Structure 1
Amino acid sequence: MHPNAPNRPGAVRLIAAAALAAAAAAALAVPAAAAPAAELTPEAIDAYMTATYEASGVPGLSVAVTHGDQVIHAAGYGRDSNGDEVTEDTPMRVASVSKSFTAMAVMILAEEGRIALDEPVVDQLPGFDMADERAREITVRQLVNQTSGFSDTTIDVVELESATSLEDYVARLADDSLASDPGTDWEYCNPNFNVAARLVEVAAGQPFEEFMEERVFAPLGMEHSATSDERVQPGLGYNNLFGLWLPREEAPGFLDDSGSGGIITSAADMGRWLITQNGQGTPLVSEAGLAEMHTPSEVQDYGMGWSVEPDGTLVHSGNLMTYNAVEWIDPETGYGIAVLTSGAGMTDVTYTAMEGLAAMADGGDPGEPSGDRLIQFALAALSVAAIALGVTGMVRSRRWAVKRAGRPAWRIGLRLVPALIPVALFASYPALVSLISNGRTVTWPSVWYFALPLTLMLALAALAGLATTTARLLRLRSVGSAE
């Protein structure tokens, strides 16, 4: 899976493996700490986020809540991998939240007449070509609306991860094809925004990171933001393994200057970004341009780097292998929310926290703060059970073999099937997760990150089944030879 592929714009949630474990833990669910009063004051926000931090156990968490042109509350909770206290200025990776930034860059240039939103990309971006004639019809608007026809099922997104630049990334699309005619279907696919970022470079005549710094970050006063860790260095992110948060390097992949997921920023900077997205503070584009970015396409409730919800609010989440983030705005009321965390577990605490804060902004109950501790406990218990069953199966393998000696091979084979089911399940694990993830590509390396406890549990179950099967066959052969 692309490092910033487990992205969830609204309903598109790609920590699909978590759903498998959630079912096992659902019966164990109990209420967490009492929710604070449903009123969006600095004190209430801080109380809710403190409770969320404590309930989730994530190493570091930060938040920004805005209203109109003011930041109501911006703060950090916990510590980073260097042991420093997390504050509102602590830089974190925000993964696919980056898409709204790339869309803004495109709109800035579109309003200056240097990018034509409704003209073919191929006419504006030298080097863009695909092994599909329909690609010549893709417009810039379709890229940022994700209606280009790009799909993980027809583009080798894994091969794209070794690209060394945006130019190289675009060139590697030459042997890929489309899944649908441009403008007829919506599919979440990271190459859309990396092609858009390369177009920004060409149209602006400068590197993507320089354009973002000069035209987006600097005007808004986003001093802790960049498109690569060469300018702003976040600490290590974390993964949760049975309740133990492990610091880890982010998975290798195309992140530096990535238009789909390369932004590094802080909660305080996100506060400035939310204000301009709500049409307040320093404008980056015209009011009409901003409204155009927030307008869904004809085929999906997704604008330009934003998912448009039924109630008119806009949201976009981002998930890397070790970081999670989410942004939310309500153009009608002027509220904005951003939540960032340096820990990626089986559930996304940032999205849950955002939903709670959004409920408070609407005068509702935020619900009980929670994390994935129950899921972690359930998976730990299942892992221990898998080991116990494997040991038991091996110990009892002679008794099993004696009982079945002399029987037809097909009957013996049938009796071995149950022990081999975990093996088959584990072998097809990434493919199964890809299947239930709306066609997103999931690779073996990726499942050893945010889904680490589930992956380890399935691996132990597979090893137990394989060990039991092997022991039974060896015993059966031994018994047969003795007779």
Structure 2
Amino acid sequence: MSQDTLSEFVAATAAEFGIPGAAVGLWVDGREVFACHGVTSVDHPLPVDQDTLYVLGSVTKTCTATALMRLVAEGRVELDAPVRRYVPEFALPDEQAAAQITVLNLLNHTAGLDWRMILDTGEGDDALAGYVAGMAGLEQIAPVGARASYSQVGYNLAGRILEKVTGLPYEQAVATLLLKPLGMSNSVFAPAEAMTRRFAVGHNLDEDGTPVTVRQWKDTRANNPGGGIVSSVADQLRWARFHLGDGRAEGGDRVLPAEVLHRMTEPTVALQASTLGDAIGIGWFLRDVDGVRTVGHGGSANGQFAELLIVPERNFAVVVMSNAGPGGVPFNQTVVRWALRTFLGVVDRDPEPLPYDEARAREVVGGYENDAMTFTIGTDGAGLTLEVLIKPEIRAAADTELPSDYPPFAIGLLPGDADEYIVTDGALQGQRGFFTRDADGAVVGADLAGRLLAGPPPPPGEVRYGAAPAARGNG
């Protein structure tokens, strides 16, 4: 497979999905291969290269988890220890939950914490401390340890553990523990550090399909542990190679013991009907694809999207970055699937949905919500649709520009009795989820991409984890 073939595929796929600028990196047959296409911005275009910085969103969680595992290896943190051992001021309305949540619960998304908390605590070194203080008003959405539910909040709290144990701001702690030892000189957090280098900006499409530059470049500083790293495709391929290795940097210095590094890719909790994976390790999603085990994580920012996938048994990695929605996610997934098929002969197929069933459809139709989004499933009598919207009050309260909402997607129910479904068109095509039921068999919640959304609130006097509270005390 020639460099030209990869470049031609990336260029054609970027055109198909309306991506102004993309960067792709492969580690295959013991060598690095890059294909960079297009421009950093439609307003002030510069060619994308392998050192162009992208906002990687939740791929950052792999850094936060690995930094904490270095502290575990040094005996400074215990995975099964309660968070309060390291952050004694941590509080929730549910005192029992606050006392029970462990470090591992944060890293494998089993703490029962909601997806996000809309709270801007500024850009100072006290941003994470203020964010954790705001959690005193955050209700649980599930009992501690009962299930996985993807949580940005949990990873931001994990970042505060790094601060408390090292005595350094989160960003400096990650740089000291990981970025500098691994030679990742093109990975930063602060806009002031990125602005002197070549960086991509996000885009969304206007009404006629033209890419328009978005004005919010990245999230608030308190969200850095869960989604704030800015990095290049070359640095991320170096990151992937580290996780394929034995815990040493390229120069031979030991960063993590091999057994600790490999523990991160061992299952800790199973996932149901999730495109993210079949299970969660420590900071990584684990998935079997066509009989081959993969390790990965994706991320999204405002008009920027990233995907990192590792195949340990084949010493293979693929990194994809793109800078436009809504095409960024399907573009990244298309490139990853092509790379797996082309270089490894591994085919990633979506399951086929069932024909429309009116009785089953009527059970799931309705509204669901979490702290930031509404999730509405409707039917026209011939098919099901899913509409995911950011809540109007969240948009109104936001100090920065939020991503545009997508039009409704078609979804189909999957075979079996597990109440699973798949998105069959649009920007989220291929995403899977499932519905949850109460003891009486009524549908009371829905999952999508590992995130729990609650259905209608229970009758007065009934306590039901997963039901959305009437108000949040998170500012």
Give the TM-score category using the shorter length: 0.5 to 0.7
CA distance in 1, matches of 2:242, 2:75: 22
1:260 to 226, 232, 242: 226
Contact 2:375 2:386 (C-alpha < 8 Å) held by counterparts: no
1:169 is the counterpart of 2:131: yes
CA distance in 2, matches of 1:453, 1:149: 27
Contact 2:204 2:213 (C-alpha < 8 Å) held by counterparts: yes
1:308 is the counterpart of 2:292: no
1:45 is the counterpart of 2:6: yes
CA distance in 1, matches of 2:72, 2:295: 22
Contact 1:325 1:351 (C-alpha < 8 Å) held by counterparts: no
- Determine which structure has the larger strand proportion and give its number: 2
Contact 1:239 1:452 (C-alpha < 8 Å) held by counterparts: no
| Residue of structure 1 equivalent to 2:311 | 330
Contact 2:90 2:98 (C-alpha < 8 Å) held by counterparts: no
| Residue of structure 2 equivalent to 1:66 | 27
Contact 2:55 2:218 (C-alpha < 8 Å) held by counterparts: no
Contact 2:26 2:34 (C-alpha < 8 Å) held by counterparts: yes
Aligned pair in 2 of structure 1 residues 47, 284: CA closer, same or farther (>3 Å)?
Answer: farther
Contact 1:277 1:290 (C-alpha < 8 Å) held by counterparts: yes
Contact 2:112 2:145 (C-alpha < 8 Å) held by counterparts: yes
| Residue of structure 1 equivalent to 2:333 | 351
TM-score (norm 2): 0.67
Could you tell me which runs of 5 or more consecutive residues in structure 1 were left unpaired when the two chains were aligned. Answer: 1-38, 368-423, 456-483
1:145 to 108, 124, 127: 108
2:313 aligned counterpart, secondary structure = coil
| Residue of structure 2 equivalent to 1:192 | 154
1:431 is the counterpart of 2:374: yes
Contact 1:228 1:257 (C-alpha < 8 Å) held by counterparts: no
1:204-283 to structure 2, matched below 5 A, reads 204-233=166-195, 234-241=199-206, 242-250=208-216, 253-255=219-221, 258-279=224-245, 282=249
CA distance in 1, matches of 2:156, 2:298: 17
Contact 1:111 1:289 (C-alpha < 8 Å) held by counterparts: yes
- Deviation sequence 1:350-377 (CA, Å, 0-9, x none): 122112212223225799xxxxxxxxxx
CA distance in 2, matches of 1:167, 1:306: 26
1:261-410 to structure 2, matched below 5 A, reads 261-279=227-245, 282=249, 284-300=255-271, 301-310=279-288, 311-346=292-327, 348=329, 349-363=331-345
Contact 2:375 2:389 (C-alpha < 8 Å) held by counterparts: no
CA distance in 1, matches of 2:68, 2:388: 25
Aligned pair in 2 of structure 1 residues 71, 270: CA closer, same or farther (>3 Å)?
Answer: farther
CA distance in 2, matches of 1:437, 1:127: 43
CA distance in 2, matches of 1:61, 1:137: 43
Shift of 1:109: 0.8
Shift of 1:339: 0.4
1:344 aligned counterpart, secondary structure = coil
2:59 to 87, 94, 97: 97
CA distance in 2, matches of 1:120, 1:163: 27
1:196 corresponds to which letter in structure 2?
Answer: A
Aligned pair in 2 of structure 1 residues 308, 252: CA closer, same or farther (>3 Å)?
Answer: closer
Worse-matched range after superposition: 249-258 or 78-87? 249-258
Contact 1:227 1:257 (C-alpha < 8 Å) held by counterparts: no
1:337 aligned counterpart, secondary structure = strand
CA distance in 1, matches of 2:49, 2:31: 15
CA distance in 2, matches of 1:97, 1:438: 26
CA distance in 2, matches of 1:346, 1:248: 15
Shift of 1:96: 0.6
| Residue of structure 2 equivalent to 1:419 | none
Contact 1:346 1:451 (C-alpha < 8 Å) held by counterparts: no
Shift of 1:232: 1.7
**What is the aligned-residue RMSD (CA, Å)?**
3.1
- Deviation sequence 1:35-58 (CA, Å, 0-9, x none): xxxx5x534322321222232231
Which structure exhibits the higher relative contact order, with contacts defined as CA atoms closer than 8 Å and separated by 6 or more residues?
Answer: 1
Shift of 1:138: 0.8
Could you tell me which runs of 5 or more consecutive residues in structure 2 were left unpaired when the two chains were aligned. Answer: 272-278, 350-366, 379-383, 409-475
CA distance in 1, matches of 2:403, 2:203: 9
**Matched residues, percent identical?**
25
